[in-house]
């Protein structure tokens, strides 16, 4: 169908088909910010395997929202929390809190009191580095 201006007009069937493709298998999911919370600094996420997540949790002075599925525990951190920090394997950093290979949105494991969902990224980074035996980025020698 074409409008008088020559532009193509999409019919309802096409729009419904496009909407269904948005949630087709393999479509990335985003971690949601729980109702009643706001994310004024944007949201990224850091994932670790569950066994590492259980070790990281008690080492943190403050814990924000933590999500979990069978393969990962996900922490909400402010956007750009990967700046000047190379997150060590097996940690994974997800900009925009987008989970590209997750078949579904993980469940909320922990929700803090208050209105912001963030775990402070530097203590999280240091805990992950310590548990993985990795030297933090800023402590590594610089070669000329």
Mean pLDDT of all residues in the chain?
A: 87
pLDDT value at position 3? 54
Read off the pLDDT of residues 1-22 as tens digits, 9 standing for 90 and up: 545 666 667 666 565 555 545 5
Angle at 126 between CA 123 and CA 130, to 5 degrees: 140
pLDDT value at position 101? 76
* Distances, alpha carbon 67 to alpha carbons 1, 29, 58, 93, in Å: 45, 13, 16, 14
pLDDT value at position 4? 61
For residue 140, the 8-state DSSP code is S
Averages of pLDDT over runs of 10 residues in the chain (144 residues) are: 61 58 66 95 97 97 95 96 92 93 89 96 97 88 72
pLDDT value at position 144? 67
pLDDT value at position 133? 95
Read off the pLDDT of residues 66-79 as tens digits, 9 standing for 90 and up: 999 999 999 999 99
**In 8-133, beta strands by DSSP E:** 29-30, 44-48, 66-68, 73-77, 92-94, 98-99, 107-110
pLDDT value at position 34? 95
């Amino acid at each position: 169908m074409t409008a008088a201006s020559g532009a193509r007009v999409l019919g309802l069937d096409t729009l419904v088909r496009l909407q269904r493709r948005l949630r087709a298998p393999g479509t990335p999911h985003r971690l949601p910010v729980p109702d009643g919370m706001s994310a004024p600094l944007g949201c990224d996420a850091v994932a670790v395997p569950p066994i590492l997540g259980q070790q990281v949790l008690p080492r943190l002075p403050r814990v924000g929202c933590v999500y979990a599925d069978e393969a990962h525990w996900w922490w909400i951190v402010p956007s750009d929390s990967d700046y000047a920090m190379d997150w060590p394997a097996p940690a994974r950093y997800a900009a925009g809190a987008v989970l590209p290979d997750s078949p579904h949105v993980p469940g909320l494991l922990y929700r803090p009191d208050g209105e912001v969902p963030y775990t402070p990224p530097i203590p999280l980074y240091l805990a992950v580095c310590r548990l993985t035996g990795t030297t933090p980025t800023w402590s590594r020698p610089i070669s000329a």
